[in-house]
Chains A and B, each alone.
Chain A
Amino acid sequence: MSARRKIDFYALTWRLPIIVWQLVFFVGPVLFMVALSFFLVKNYRMTEAFEFVNWQRMLTRGFFWDSYWYTLFIASLSGTIAMSVAFPAAWALAFRASDTLRRWAVFLLIIPFFTSYLVRTFSWYVILAESGVLNAMLGYIGLGPFRMLNSHFGTVVGYLTLTLPLAVILQTVTMANIDKTLIEAARNLGCKPLATIWRVVLPLSKTGFIVAALFCFILAFGDFVAPFYLGGSQEPTLPILILDTTKSGQQWPRAAVVAIMMMLTLFTVAFTAIALAYRKPKGVR
């Protein structure tokens, strides 16, 4: 007699809400957006069609690819900076700070999220403007004024405002879970501090670090606020291009093309990163 697999209705009941949620609020809208990219706009009104003209129009334009590569570059750069700047702080919190201090630090890192990201971004105006706080301080030592707003620098600062606290928290949590005796063993066996980080800490934190970097990249790649308000739209990132496309002529189908390209990029990056994060080291079964 062949063993038939029974449907576990109890388990299914608990799984169903998330499945329905994903279908209704993710899969459905994505499919609609894909369909939308083939629609046409006539007299400012979308008409259902199946034409490739939007894809052809967007993907053959130099400005689309300029925005694409710039967005990819600046999001990767800010992700790298966030991860690098976060590391010493996270290291100190994970290995040097007491439990109480670590809890307070994590709490303080979460606090910025209580305020609107837009408000936090606008507050940089006061600090980064040519007549702002930072340039005034630099002026005391005979430097500047430097142009920090409406530049790539401004964009990266905005991205870091969004991602840096998250990077520190994720790195801290990851490293705090490392068995400290392994680090002590490495040091006892003569491993130097930097080598300990490279050969013990980083391999053990790989998954957490890759996930943190991925989050930083995803948030920066899709962010509109920082490049628009602190970067002065120069150069325009893909989210700004979406806005520009919808603003003139109400070309939502062309904006959908840009959005799909963004999603495809994020999927590719995310799957690659996750595969990398969970890849077993050579020799491990």
Chain B
Amino acid sequence: MMKTGKKAKNQLLRRDVLRIGGGVALSAPFVGRAWAQTTDINMLAWYGHGEPDMVGAFEEANNVKFVPKYYAGGDNMLALIAQSPPGTYDIILSDGEFVQQLNAAGYIEPLEASDYPFDDMLHEDFTKFPGHWDGDTLYSMILRGGHLGVSYNTTAMSAEEASSYAGFWKPELAGKVGHFDWHLPTLGMMSLKNGNGAGLWDLSDDQWSAVQETTMSLRPQVGGFFDYGGTFNGLKNGEMLAMCGIGDWITGVLERDGAPVASVIPKEGGIQFTESYCIGKGSSKADLVKSFIQYMMSPEGQVKSAQMLAYPGFCVTKAGRKLLQEVDPAEAKRSHQIEGMANDPIALINEGRIHYRDIPQQQSLEDWNDFWSEYKNA
């Protein structure tokens, strides 16, 4: 039996409660102050860009917290900004082709070009990337890119078959060709197949009709239309043996896991997606955002971008590529980011085989989308 007045083992006395409670109460303001010092940075981006593998180190070093809002597609991004008050987003990751529209609508702040490593770009095009400048004023900083072409299961298609978009029509692939459910990349590819080359987005009525006809002829081969997750699963479980509208940004993730998939740029040419950072108009944290963009443009940041877990992209700076080759030679090799390798993304651009993704010049996006709906229903 326990004696009165004597503290039993593990027994919490009133004095202990007061002592612990008091300690907690006294430390609360400090804890609160520490929390309060963390600055939130609101980010609008494609999925993955606000995840710890990308922003974690910067958050820790600068006591900031990224609050990402993810979108899927440039239209979606523009709509989210249009429907938000100025200053809602501090940093915006935009597809290259939509920067011009962001600027025209006054949604982004000008940048100081001298803050960024333009003298270290891997390709001259990246220094004056289309739409990123208005005269001599910079509005967006190119972060990375990726190439879209023929993505395929290497057990079902040979590299030679995949070297042309015609490979999608291979009879053995009937019902096994998947689409990433966005009209822009697929119709761009069909335009390339029709031989429109550099004019793939600038289609006359006749060319547009021909692109629709080519696309429709692919319909019997199609096994489904998928979002990111569906595309990923379709290729992984072998339901889809070829995928139209994507590239290494999806097959790269699967390749890392050892799946027998690959992406190549066919002889008709490929499409480049480009991702760039902008500072949101009216952001009160422009200096912090500038620091973050500088960090992402540093060799370390470029490596993080190339290794991004959600989907990989290639480095745009020489120093970034060099560091990637040093710290992660396997990824550098897998993504062909080594000089002299076949399909080196920079060599492909130099060879004129890559066309930057754009929006239709002579038709509206709605026209393309309406056709896409017709195609899906065919």
Interface-lining segment among B76-84, B188-196, B266-274 = B76-84
Tell me whether B239 and A130 are in contact (CB under 8 A): yes
Interface residue A249 (Cβ < 8 Å from any Cβ of B): yes
Q: Chain A contact residues: over half helix, strand or loop, or mixed?
A: loop
**In the complex, chain B residues whose CB is within 8 Å of the CB of A251:** 366
Q: Which residues of A contact B377 (CB under 8 A)?
A: 62-63, 66-67, 70, 235-236
Partner of A250, one of B75, B175, B181, B238: B75
The interface residues of chain A lying within 8 Å CB-to-CB of B376 are 63, 233-236, 244
Query: Which residues of A are found within 8 Å of B226, using beta-carbon distances?
Result: 232-233
Expressed in whole angstroms, the minimum distance between the Cβ of B99 and any Cβ of chain A is: 15
Does A150 have its Cβ within 8 Å of any Cβ on chain B? yes
Q: With A125-B233, A232-B230 in contact, is A250–B76 under 8 Å at CB?
A: yes
Chain B residue nearest in CB terms to A150: B224
* A43 contacts B by Cβ under 8 Å: yes
Q: Is the CB of A61 within 8 A of B370?
A: yes
Q: Tell me the chain A residues, 153-188 only, with Cβ under 8 Å from chain B.
A: none
Question: Which listed residue (A63, A147, A231) contacts B373, Cβ 8 A?
Answer: A63
Q: Can you name the residue of chain A whose Cβ is closest to the Cβ of B219? A: A234
Bits for B221-263, please: 1 = Cβ < 8 Å to A, else 0: 0111111001001100111000000000000000000000000
B239 touches A241 (CB 8 A): no
A149 adjacent to B239 (CB under 8 Å) = yes
A232 near B224 with CB under 8 A, answer yes
Does B72 make an interface contact (CB < 8 A)?
A: yes
Contact indicator A249/B75 (Cβ below 8 Å)? yes
Taken residue by residue from 146 to 179, chain B's Cβ proximity to chain A (1 for < 8 Å, 0 otherwise) reads as 0000000000000000000000000000010010
Alpha-carbon distance between A150 and B238 when the two chains are bound, in angstroms? 12
Closest residue of chain A to B224, judged by CB? A232
Known: A130-B239, A150-B239. 9 other contacts (CB 8 A): A61-B370, A63-B370, A130-B237, A233-B224, A236-B225, A244-B181, A244-B369, A248-B75, A250-B82
Tell whether B105 is near chain A: CB-to-CB under 8 Å.
yes
CA A14 to CA B362, docked complex, whole Å: 61
In the bound complex, residues from chain B placing their C-beta under 8 Å from that of A249 are: 75, 365-366, 369
* B73 interface hit (Cβ, 8 Å): yes
A247 at the A/B interface (Cβ < 8 Å)? yes
Among candidates B222, B233, B239, B369, residue contacting A234 with C-beta atoms closer than 8 Å: B222
Query: In this assembly, does A45 line the interface, its C-beta being within 8 Å of a C-beta of chain B?
Result: yes
Contact (Cβ within 8 A) A248 B233: no
CA distance A241 to B369 in the complex (A): 11
Residues of chain B within 8 A of A67, CB atoms compared: 373, 377
| B230 close to A229 (CB less than 8 A) | yes
Interface: B372 (CB within 8 A): yes
| A 223-282 contacts with B by CB, 8 A | 228-229, 231-236, 241, 244-245, 247-251
Contact A63 B75 (CB under 8 A): no
**Which of chain B's residues have a CB closer than 8 A to the CB of A21?**
none
Chain B, residues 70-98, CB within 8 Å of chain A (1/0): the string is: 00110110110011000000000000000
Which residues of chain B are near A150, meaning CB under 8 Å?
223-224, 234, 239
Q: Is the CB of B239 within 8 A of A248?
A: no
Residues of A within 8 A of B73 (CB): 247-248
Report the minimum CB–CB distance from B86 to chain A (whole Å).
13
Instruction: Give the distance to chain B from A264, nearest Cβ to Cβ, in Å.
Output: 21
Q: Is there a chain A Cβ closer than 8 Å to B336's Cβ?
A: no
**Interface residues in chain A, defined as those with a beta carbon under 8 Å from any beta carbon in chain B:** 43-45, 61-63, 66-67, 70, 125, 129-132, 147, 149-150, 228-229, 231-236, 241, 244-245, 247-251
B224 vs chain A, min Cβ distance (A): 3
- A47 CB to nearest B CB, Å: 11
Given the complex, which residues of B lie within 8 Å of A70, measured CB to CB? 377
Q: Which residue of the partner chain, among B79, B105, B182, B239, contacts A129 with CB atoms under 8 Å?
A: B239
Q: A44–B71 Cα gap in the complex (Å)? A: 14
> Which chain B positions have C-beta within 8 A of A229?
230
**Pairs across A and B, CB under 8 Å, 9 listed:** A44-B75, A61-B374, A63-B374, A63-B377, A67-B373, A232-B223, A232-B230, A233-B224, A233-B226
Whole-angstrom CA separation of A61 from B366 in the bound complex: 13
Nearest 10 A/B pairs, CB to CB? A232-B224, A250-B79, A248-B369, A150-B224, A233-B225, A66-B377, A63-B373, A44-B78, A45-B82, A63-B377
Q: Which residues of A contact B72 (CB under 8 A)?
A: 247
Give the residues in chain A near B175, CB-CB below 8 Å.
Answer: 147
- A66, A129, A147, A244: most-surrounded residue (chain B CB, <10 A): A244
- Interface residues as binary, B339-378 with A (CB distance below 8 Å gives 1, 0 otherwise): 0000000000000000000000000011011101110110
CA distance A63 to B105 in the complex (A): 32
CA distance in complex: A45, B366 (Å):
15
- Distance between B211 CB and nearest chain A CB, rounded to angstroms: 17
Q: Check if B318 is an interface residue, CB within 8 A of chain A.
A: no
Distance from B82 Cβ to chain A, minimum over Cβ atoms (Å): 4
Contact A248 B78 (CB under 8 A): no
Contacts of A234 in B (CB 8 A): 222-225, 376
| Residues in A whose Cβ lies below 8 Å from that of B369 | 244-245, 248-249
Query: Measured between alpha carbons, how far is A233 from B226 in the docked complex, in Å?
Result: 7
**Are A125 and B237 in contact, CB atoms less than 8 angstroms apart?**
yes
**List of B residues within 8 angstroms of A43 by Cβ:** 78, 82, 105
B75 touches A244 (CB 8 A): no
Contact A248 B366 (CB under 8 A): yes
Within 8 A of A (CB), among B128-147: none
Q: Which B residue sits closest to A236, measured CB to CB?
A: B376
- For the complex formed, measure the closest distance between the CB of B171 and the CB atoms of chain A, giving whole angstroms: 16
**Smallest beta-carbon distance B107→chain A, Å:** 10
